[in-house]
Structure 1
Amino acid sequence: MAPGGSTYKEVLESHSTVTDYDIAMTKADTNLTPAKTTAGLGGKKGISSPNGVHELLECPVCTSLMYPPIYQCPSGHTLCSNCKSRVHNCCPTCRHELGDIRCLALEKVAESLELPCRYQSLGCHDIFPYYSKLKHEQQCRFHPYNCPYAGFECSVTGDIPTLVEHLKGDHKVDMHDGCTFNHRYVKSNPQEVENATWMLTVFNCFGKQFCLHFEAFQLGTAPVYMAFLRFMGDDNEAKKFSYSLEVGGNSRKLIWQGVPRSIRDSHRKVRDSQDGLIIQRNLALYFSGGDRQELKLRVTGRIWKESELWKDNGC
């Protein structure tokens, strides 16, 4: 359980097993040695990056590569536009006033360079023109994923197998095989739950991993519960799957059907977009039955491939 969390129960009933879970309160590499390969997608013929030129393109303040506008002081020392305001327009090397002098020569030299993707060691072997490299890296399929655990901020990144082991070993997340699930979320006093995240559950389905989230929070002035699924992979893969969630009681039910969001989208982004099953607290307590003072909410769900749905429909 995350530090500072409060203990609630989540009962997993899939595969005839019963498991207790905790709930946590929500709180709110660069290797640029040029590769001796042909230019990859979007690449073009250019000058490779010798160490001297590469060092000239490193900002002396943040040590990141500089992109236009690149500024220089009267003595010729350069720095990036982001750091220009951070140093209060004073050259960090000679202390002269920077002004607004552009280093057009260095910007021009950068145009002719090609550099490998920073994720070369993770499997991306393409090289790119200097000014295309940054955009590629933001979308590179080898870009490490952030840990999808939502109980507290976790800075761990890595590929999917690394994160699966991290979730099991460090967050003690339960892993379950199968494409259907049946959960009961229990809380003796739901009025205490204002911003809370039930412990993440991961399902192995179709050889992929899916993260089931369930939490309570304020939507405007209304207290709500929300359940949604995230896919451990990129968005283009996530779109190959669909899922449904169902909650009910007292001869009523709500059904949600959608496409799982990639873990490239943060947990908070998905939650704030309301892309999932949302249950008003009063309705959740109505579904719970009894005196409506205790939360006993049953959520069932299923994951499928679109191709499997077509087969089921005889297509």
Structure 2
Amino acid sequence: MAPGGRIYKEVVESLSAVTDYDTVTAKAEVKSSASTRATHGISSTNGVHELLECPVCMSSMYPPIHQCPNGHTLCSNCKIRVHNCCPTCRYELGNIRCLALEKVAESLELPCGFQSLGCHDIFPYYSKLKHEQHCRFRPYNCPYAGSECSVTGDIPMLVSHLNDDHKVDMHDGCTFNHRYVKSNPHEVENATWMLTVFNCFGRQFCLHFEAFQLGMAPVYMAFLRFMGDEDEAKKFSYSLEVGSTNRKLTWQGVPRSIRDTHRKVRDSLDGLIIQRNLALFFSGGDRQELKLRVTGRIWKEQ
């Protein structure tokens, strides 16, 4: 054997073993990487969606999406709120647009935010927000007007909430006859009075009666709201009547959906409006106390 032959053979075998090991390891890493991508593809999409959440308001960002010199992003509304200062690194934001993230958003399709409430539609990222503003599955706001109630939910949940938490009177039937009494009728500043819920035709209606200032004139107003969407509300009509012997004031209209806020309906004057002097006249007696009887009915249009 030539001098050094054995050493040469051992080195060759060692190099061969190392080469085989590297090949096996590389194949295993490629396989593992492919498996990870296959397994976590959905998580990757969710990760992109998380990148589109504004770090300030936590809402989805829509163009223009702004970024600071260090790449931190936020929505245009919050850029004003933070006085053009990056909330993450405190650098001045300037007017840099994150065009790459805006482009990525165009490729996304996301489920409606009210999926848990019954909407199973999927929309392109930039169409999702517009849909959610009008989605028929979006929750309703509590129709109680006597306080700033932030509770939202579907109709059965809100009916229970009104009964349990606001102690609202609940009545079955499509006709009503209410008597509103107030010892000092001159106090009308922002006075919300009564809300009554009627279960009629298997649906729920809210009867509001309140006092407020219309310009310089104190007035009383009664109106009906439908616990459902506007297209359903249009299937019903209602009438209201107030008066005394040989004199009466009537109103007929379509109930407004509770999608419209209480204040919006009131300020539109879409209901029976009674000036205070006339209301006191209808009350009879010495006109120092309000005793007003309001009757009405609800019917379904054919």
TM-score band (shorter)? 0.7 to 0.9
Question: Which residue of structure 1 lines up, in the alignment, with residue 180 of structure 2?
Answer: 185
Task: State which of 258, 261, 280 in structure 1 corresponds to 2:275.
Answer: 280
Question: Which residue of structure 1 lines up, in the alignment, with residue 253 of structure 2?
Answer: 258
Moved over 3 A (4+): none
Deviation at 1:192, TM superposition (A): 2.8
Task: State which of 94, 97, 103 in structure 1 corresponds to 2:89.
Answer: 94
| Distance (Å, rounded) in 2 between the aligned partners of 1:181 and 1:71 | 56
In the alignment of these two chains, the number of paired residues is: 261
Identity across aligned pairs (percent)? 89
Deviation at 1:250, TM superposition (A): 3.8
Deviation at 1:249, TM superposition (A): 1.2
Q: Are residues 117 and 251 of structure 1, via their aligned partners in 2, closer, same or farther at CA, if it must alter by over 3 Å? A: same
Secondary structure in structure 1 of the residue aligned to 2:116:
helix
Match of 2:182, as an amino acid? K
Secondary structure in structure 1 of the residue aligned to 2:87:
coil
Q: Are residues 71 and 167 of structure 1, via their aligned partners in 2, closer, same or farther at CA, if it must alter by over 3 Å? A: same
Question: Which residue of structure 2 lines up, in the alignment, with residue 64 of structure 1?
Answer: 59
Contact persistence 2:188–2:213 (CA under 8 A): no
Task: State which of 49, 52, 57 in structure 1 corresponds to 2:47.
Answer: 52
Once structures 1 and 2 are overlaid, which stretch shifts more, 111-120 or 183-192? Answer: 183-192
Question: Which residue of structure 1 lines up, in the alignment, with residue 68 of structure 2?
Answer: 73
Task: State which of 303, 307, 314 in structure 1 corresponds to 2:298.
Answer: 303
With the length of structure 1 as denominator, give the TM-score of the two structures. Answer: 0.80
The yes-or-no answer on 1:116 pairing with 2:111 is yes
Contact persistence 1:73–1:97 (CA under 8 A): yes
The yes-or-no answer on 1:151 pairing with 2:146 is yes
Match of 1:157, as an amino acid? T
Task: State which of 125, 128, 133 in structure 1 corresponds to 2:123.
Answer: 128
Contact persistence 1:215–1:226 (CA under 8 A): yes
| Distance (Å, rounded) in 1 between the aligned partners of 2:46 and 2:182 | 60
Contact persistence 2:228–2:257 (CA under 8 A): yes
Contact persistence 1:190–1:294 (CA under 8 A): yes
Deviation at 1:75, TM superposition (A): 2.1
Which protein shows a greater Rg?
A: 2
Deviation at 1:52, TM superposition (A): 2.1
Task: State which of 227, 232, 236 in structure 2 corresponds to 1:237.
Answer: 232
Q: Are residues 168 and 49 of structure 1, via their aligned partners in 2, closer, same or farther at CA, if it must alter by over 3 Å? A: farther
Aligned positions of 1:21-40 closer than 5 A: none
Q: Of the two structures, which has the highest relative contact order with CA contacts closer than 8 Å and spacing of 6 or more?
A: 1
Deviation at 1:64, TM superposition (A): 1.2
Task: State which of 53, 78, 90 in structure 2 corresponds to 1:83.
Answer: 78
Secondary structure in structure 2 of the residue aligned to 1:76:
coil
The yes-or-no answer on 1:175 pairing with 2:163 is no
| Distance (Å, rounded) in 1 between the aligned partners of 2:190 and 2:116 | 39
Contact persistence 1:202–1:209 (CA under 8 A): yes
The structure where helix makes up a greater share of residues is 2
| Distance (Å, rounded) in 2 between the aligned partners of 1:293 and 1:49 | 71
